[in-house]
Structures are given as C-alpha cells and as structure tokens.
C-alpha cells in the first residue's frame, strides 16, 4: 500500500497518541521512516516498541521554533504532518479566561506557523507535502472550546497562504489542511463529546449516537497516508469523515 512512501522520511507531530499515533503507524506500515514528536517520552517509547526501528521518537515541544528548525534541517522529510494540538478546556465562553480561550492559538496555530515557515525557508525538496490539522470546527464553530474553532480556521489559512508562497517561488511543496469531523475516539475528542453531551443534558452514549458513525484513528491514518502519497490530491483543504477525504468547497 502506498509504495510511493516506501523509503521516504516523514515527521509527525503529536505522534504519542490519538490521530498522530495512527498516522505514524500507517506511514511506517507503508515503508516510511517516521520521526514522531510529542512531549510524553513514555508514550512515544510505547509507539517505538510497537513500530520498531521505523519510528524515531523525539520528546520535544512542537511549539518550539528551534525544534522545528533542527528536525527539518536534520531529516528533510518528504511528508510533514502537523497534527499536534492542545485539548481545549470545555467551557462556555464566559467561563474561559483569555489564557484558556487562546490555548489552541499558543499550541496548534503557533506550531503550524513555525513548521510551515521553516519548511518554506529550508526549503523542503520539490514533491514534499505538508499536511496541517485544522478541524471541522473551523466550519461549524465549537461554542464550548474557547478560541479553538477560530484557531483551526487560521491553520487552514496558514496552509493556503503557504501553498501560494510555494507556488510563487516554484518550490514544488504541496501544502494542504485537513478538517476532521469530531470523534470520541481520541482523548481530545472524547472530552469534547462528554462536554457537549452534558451541555445538552443527555448521556454520552446518546450524544455519540446523534453524531453518527465515528471517525476512527485508523481511518485518519489511512486518509493521511493516501493524501501524502498522491500528488494529484492538491486541493487546499479536505474534510475528513468516515467516508474519507472530500475537498472543502470554495
Ligand atoms: N479528535 C477529534 O475529534 C478531532 C477533530 C478535529 C480535529 N482534531 C485535531 O486533530 C489533532 C489530533 O487530535 P487527537 O484527537 O488525536 O488529540 P489527542 O489524542 O489529545 O493527541 C494530541 C497529540 O498532540 C500532542 N501534543 C499536544 N501538545 C503538544 C506540544 N506542545 N508539542 C508536541 N506535541 C504536542 C500530544 O502529545 P503530548 O501530550 O505527549 O505532547 C498528542 O500526541 C489535533 O490537532 C486536533 O485539534 C481532532
């Protein structure tokens, strides 16, 4: 599967659990060497134990611009997956402080900004792909997640701006954003689903039923590997649901 990725290098941020771990697993399964970045060394070591030498764990803060510069200089990945994200504190607007409201800007947006900038400045080799994790919340809003939806909307813009700069400079780097639908299948998603269930006065099982079929981390891994492998998938942004990737209209 995805033989185009065999023997190539990928960097995945947020690889210690959730979507990132599944993406690292799928890319390694396709024959890529995967550098996985997250802060929790123990959980990264678990991934290493599962995937073996195909996975290089790097315990680091992905929002640190030095980490971005060093790892891109050292590994020059063909595939860069900017997936790391902070779990928002689930509260209505007026129960946020500015610090809790802006958390996704400090983590998610800041890391996508630094890594995208370094990828363009290096630059990565022609044919490289940068995939940035936005969210379906960027379209629908997320009233219990403070600034999360706006931050994820900005990530979509950063990927599109980066794609325009790549095209203007003839770099041949593909930059796309992916907008997954909310799923209780990860720690971040489960916390959000529990908060929305409580808000609506229903139990979690009822709320999950209302959401319909849940997107699984394995489906995310497969979708990202297919996106990374296929240069023809060059739309600026893709929705990601259990049915797969679909270009965001407009
Ligand atoms: N689950 C959903 O329903 C959903 C829907 C739409 C979009 N998304 C987005 O998809 C991405 C992955 O979400 P998930 O559900 O898989 O979340 P998750 O299970 O909470 O995993 C988040 C990952 O990000 C890492 N991370 C957080 N802060 C970091 C930092 N400063 N430096 C390095 N790594 C950091 C975490 O590792 P450490 O804690 O070890 O650092 C972890 O590996 C996020 O960007 C999220 O916003 C998720």
Task: Choose among 61, 65, 60, 4: nearest CA to 32.
Answer: 4
pLDDT at 19: 98
Determine the distance separating the centroid of ligand 1 and the alpha carbon of 12, expressed in angstroms. Answer: 11
**pLDDT for 1:** 61
How far is the C-alpha of 177 from the C-alpha of 166, rounded, in Å? Answer: 15
Distance between CA atoms of residues 44 and 36, nearest Å: 7
Distance (angstroms) between ligand 1 centre and the Cα of 58 equals: 16
Q: Which residues line ligand 1 (CB under 6 A)?
A: 13-14, 16-20, 37-40, 43, 61-63, 83-87, 107-108, 133, 135-136, 180, 182-183, 186-189
CA distance 118 to 123: 7
CA atoms of 242 and 61, how far apart (whole Å): 30
Kindly report the number of other CB atoms within 10 A of residue 232's CB atom: 5
pLDDT at 82: 99
pLDDT of residue 39: 98
pLDDT on residue 250? 75
The kind and range of the H/E element at 247 are: strand 244-247
User: Is residue 122 packed enough to be buried (19+ CB in 10 Å), middle (13-18) or exposed (0-12)?
Assistant: middle
pLDDT for the residue numbered 3: 82
What is the per-residue pLDDT for 113?
A: 99
In the predicted model, what is the mean pLDDT of the chain? 97
Specify the pTM. 0.98
* Residue 47: predicted pLDDT: 98
- Say what the pLDDT of residue 4 is: 92
- What averages of pLDDT result for each successive group of 10 residues across the chain (250 residues)? 90 98 98 98 98 98 98 98 97 97 98 98 98 98 97 98 98 98 96 95 95 96 98 96 94
């Amino acid at each position: 599967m995805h033989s185009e990725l065999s023997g190539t290098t990928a960097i995945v941020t947020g690889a210690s659990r959730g979507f990132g771990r599944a993406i690292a697993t799928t890319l390694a399964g396709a024959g890529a060497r995967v550098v996985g970045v997250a802060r929790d060394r123990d959980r990264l070591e678990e991934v290493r134990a599962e995937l073996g030498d195909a996975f290089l764990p790097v315990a680091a803060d992905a929002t640190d611009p030095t980490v971005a510069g060093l790892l891109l200089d050292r590994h020059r990945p063909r595939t860069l997956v900017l997936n790391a994200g902070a779990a928002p504190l689930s509260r209505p607007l007026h129960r946020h402080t500015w610090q809790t409201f802006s958390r996704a800007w400090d983590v998610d947006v800041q890391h996508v900004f630094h890594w995208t900038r370094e990828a363009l400045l290096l630059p990565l080799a022609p044919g490289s792909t940068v995939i940035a994790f936005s969210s379906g919340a960027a379209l629908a809003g997320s009233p219990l997640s403070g600034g999360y939806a706006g931050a994820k909307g900005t990530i979509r813009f950063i990927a599109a701006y980066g794609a325009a700069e790549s095209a203007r400079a003839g770099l041949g780097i593909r930059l796309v954003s992916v907008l997954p639908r909310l799923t209780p299948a990860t720690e971040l998603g489960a916390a959000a689903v529990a908060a929305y269930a409580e808000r609506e006065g229903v139990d979690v099982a009822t709320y999950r039923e209302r959401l319909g079929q849940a997107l699984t981390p394995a489906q995310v891994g497969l979708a990202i590997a297919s996106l990374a492998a296929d240069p023809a998938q060059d739309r600026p942004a893709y929705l990601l649901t259990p049915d797969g990737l679909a270009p965001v209209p407009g």
